[in-house]
Amino acid sequence: MTRLLLITEDQNQALTLQGALASAADFQVHHRSRFADARGALTAGAFEACLFLPANVEADFCTELAAARALAPRLAIAVVAPSGAGTETQPRLLSAGADSVLFQPLDVAALATNLTRLTGRGETPTVASANPFAGPALAPARLNAKAAALSSALEVLRDFSQVLGYSLDYRQLTHQFILKLREVVGVSRIAIFLEPGTAQVMPTTSGPDGTTLTCAAAVGIPADLVECFALTRKSGLGRQLSQQPQILRAPTQTVPPQLDPKIVREFEVLGGQVAIPVNDRERTIGIAILGDRITGGEFSDEELLLVYHLLEELGLAVKNSWLHDQLVGSHKLFGSVLSSLTVGALVIGPNQQVAYANRAIIDFLLGARADRLDVHDLPPAIAARLHDVVEKGVEADTFFHETAASPPRLFRATIIPLRQPQTRLPQTAMLLLEDFTSIRAGQQAEIESSNLKLISLIARRFAHEIRNSLVPLTTHAQLFDSEIAHDDFRESLKASLHRETQRIQRFTDQMLLLARADQPPEELASLDEILRSSFEKSRAFSGGEANLEIKSELPPVMLRCNRASLAHAFQEIFLNGLQSSHDSSRRVVVSLNAAPNTEGRAELVITVRDSGTGFALESAPRATEPFFTTRNTGVGLGLTIAQRVISAHDGSLAVHPRQTPADADLTIRLPLPR
């Protein structure tokens, strides 16, 4: 990975180039608006390349370019001159210190190729070895009295570092740690690079990927270098110590540079002499870079080993800090979720104290002016159920609570136990209150509206039928005085009175059966007698000739039933079939059979077919709906009443459209006596 310093005041262009160069080549791009902001990093040699995008290329810029070259002689410098620059611009910028000059509009691919070519000139060749990634061995131990005293101090520091696991802010913790380590060990500079800590509860696609190790704390290193310099697990020290977590020394004049050029470069930039992995006893989470000793001496193996263990304790403390941040983040997230709910939420602990109450439940129970809610503020009915759940572990069903205020409010209450695994009573529980006041008002309004619609429909249907019955009666009443002496008039009057009173009587019977269709079976009756008597009443009511044919493969069937209501149900079924038949030879065919139901018990199967055309495909599913009819007469209650009566006898009625001319129109199932 090549570290590139981008200097431009155009923020939009900087963002565009950062993304384009990162995808076009392996560049780690750091942006600065002014050259002055990057002097410290350039002096330390933190970058392999620098790209200038100046607004103009006048004398002041050439001075800055020359200063950059003076600060970093090995730095690859490219300049993108603004559009409209003259032909003399390129040689003037090259003489000022630029290695390459390009012009706007900019070709990103060409720029990436040019930068890659320029940065290749400053790399240190890798010396081949049996293990090209292996660093030089640690120097032999040379402990003297002073080193022994230092070793004892490190032992004390190591014991003291165990308390670091209880700290929370990992950056402050790391900073205090390196200050103490610097004081005891006596090094000129220390930097610790760690994975970026996160308090995110759920991972995001834009979050840190764990490959970049940023500087968490440093001492003795310029601030601007700390800000812009980072290690990566893809190359250099980050890759080497992630794959082989062992102490690594920088090459010296007495030890040949057998390390990766990237590693050598990073040691040079940071002024480090030793790199030590920081782990949490499971994996490497960071790298510590130690510089020269203030006294100029070298580190012994024993000293570095003790520092390694100190850094391990630091790694555990940092891990605990991250876990704490995640816990705090989770708490804030769920607290925000509960606070934003319109449902009231309250959590009560095992000590019968309110651990949490959101704004909604405080408003529900105490009003908008209250700030907090105590367990004593809960209504007695709710408090008693909460006590049973918390103290006794009782499972509480959802219930409704209505306040005594005017106007009253209705709440649906749900109590959820929050018992942790393998814990005893008492337990924590959460109370949820949902305001059902408006929902109940809406339900009542809907019921009232439905009732009004139903009453209106019944009134229209019955008014229409009664009016139809009254028309012939009022006509005869008007002609009564003048026509009563004629025999034909008297016969017509008699027939009208009989027919229309029968019709009105049928409406009355339908309404009574609709109100008490669930009368239980109470007697044994002959099915054949019920079918034939019901058919005769239907034939007489419809008028004209009609025949009933009963086909049965069973012996005479006796049913336990309410005889009157079951007879009326078959009367409605037969009348519906006779009214659907328009030819002179009306006929209804009833077939009787027995079949097992889903539970294996025998039941009676009755199929009915008339001589009409049958039910239409679209009307069959609605045939048993109240007040549904396809004729101009009748109120549409016949099959509705039949279905209710048969259901009260633990049976069923199904309506079928005909697939073939021989298909049945209705199928009735009734239980047979045991």
- 580 and 606 belong to one structural domain: yes
Range of the domain at 48: 2-122
**577-598 mean pLDDT:** 85
Q: What percent of the chain has pLDDT over 70?
A: 87
pLDDT in tens, 25-34: 678 888 898 8
pLDDT in tens, 659-669: 888 889 999 99
* DSSP letter for each residue of 268-331: HHHT-SEEEEEE-SSSEEEEEEE--BTTS----HHHHHHHHHHHHHHHHHHHHHHHHHHHHHHH
Confidence class for position 110, pLDDT limits 50, 70, 90: confident
Res 160: pLDDT:
56
The CATH number linked to 588 is 3.30.565.10
Q: Is residue 29 part of a domain?
A: yes
Res 339: pLDDT:
78
Q: What is the DSSP letter of 405?
A: S
pLDDT in tens, 291-332: 988 888 888 888 888 889 888 888 888 888 888 888 888 888
- 244 and 194 belong to one structural domain: yes
**205-219 mean pLDDT:** 73
Res 478: pLDDT:
87
- 431 and 481 belong to one structural domain: no
| Predicted confidence (pLDDT) at residue 41 exceeds the cutoff of 60 | yes
Q: Is residue 332 part of a domain?
A: no
The token pair that represents 1 in the structure block: 């990975």
Res 218: pLDDT:
93
| Predicted confidence (pLDDT) at residue 476 exceeds the cutoff of 80 | yes
Q: Which amino acid is at 653?
A: L
Res 136: pLDDT:
43
- Cβ-contact 77, 69 below 8 angstroms: yes
Confidence class for position 127, pLDDT limits 50, 70, 90: very low
The token pair that represents 376 in the structure block: 């004593």
- 106 and 215 belong to one structural domain: no
Nearest Cα neighbor of 1 from 232, 164, 160 is: 232
Res 667: pLDDT:
94
The CATH number linked to 400 is 3.30.450.20
| Predicted confidence (pLDDT) at residue 612 exceeds the cutoff of 50 | yes
Number of domains in the chain: 5
- 187 and 307 belong to one structural domain: yes
* DSSP letter for each residue of 365-397: HT-TT-----GGGS-HHHHHHHHIIIII-PPPP
| Predicted confidence (pLDDT) at residue 289 exceeds the cutoff of 90 | yes
Confidence class for position 213, pLDDT limits 50, 70, 90: very high
Res 157: pLDDT:
58
293 vs 627, higher pLDDT: 293
- 319 and 373 belong to one structural domain: no
Res 516: pLDDT:
64
The CATH number linked to 103 is 3.40.50.2300
The Cα–Cα gap between 564 and 570 comes to: 10
CA distances from 412 to 34, 382, 397 (A): 63, 11, 11
Mean pLDDT of the chain: 82
| Predicted confidence (pLDDT) at residue 485 exceeds the cutoff of 70 | yes
3 state DSSP class of 600: coil
Q: Which amino acid is at 261?
A: P
Res 170: pLDDT:
83
pLDDT in tens, 239-265: 999 999 999 998 876 555 577 889 988
- 210 and 357 belong to one structural domain: no
470 vs 277, higher pLDDT: 277
| Predicted confidence (pLDDT) at residue 131 exceeds the cutoff of 50 | no
The Cα–Cα gap between 76 and 118 comes to: 6
The token pair that represents 86 in the structure block: 């003259």
Q: Is residue 623 part of a domain?
A: yes
Annotate 182-195 with three-state secondary structure: HHHHCECCEEEEEC
pTM, two decimals, is 0.48
| Predicted confidence (pLDDT) at residue 151 exceeds the cutoff of 70 | no
| Predicted confidence (pLDDT) at residue 156 exceeds the cutoff of 70 | no
| Predicted confidence (pLDDT) at residue 87 exceeds the cutoff of 80 | no
- The alpha carbon dihedral of 52, 56, 61, 66 has a sign of positive
**450-475 mean pLDDT:** 75
| Predicted confidence (pLDDT) at residue 199 exceeds the cutoff of 50 | no
- 96 and 6 belong to one structural domain: yes
| Maximum alpha-carbon separation in the chain | 151
| Domain stop point among 122, 155, 187 | 122
393 vs 161, higher pLDDT: 393
The Cα–Cα gap between 89 and 172 comes to: 50
- 522 and 450 belong to one structural domain: no
Q: Is residue 133 part of a domain?
A: no
3-state helix, strand, coil in the chain (%, to 5): 45, 20, 35
Confidence class for position 202, pLDDT limits 50, 70, 90: very low
Nearest Cα neighbor of 6 from 52, 73, 75, 70 is: 52
Confidence class for position 126, pLDDT limits 50, 70, 90: very low
- 407 and 448 belong to one structural domain: no
3 state DSSP class of 516: coil
- 359 and 311 belong to one structural domain: no
Angle at 31 between CA 27 and CA 33, to 5 degrees: 155
- 172 and 235 belong to one structural domain: yes
Res 519: pLDDT:
66
Q: Is residue 634 part of a domain?
A: yes
| Domain stop point among 298, 327, 356 | 327
Q: Is residue 612 part of a domain?
A: yes
328 vs 558, higher pLDDT: 558
3 state DSSP class of 535: helix
Q: Is residue 130 part of a domain?
A: no
Q: Which amino acid is at 108?
A: V
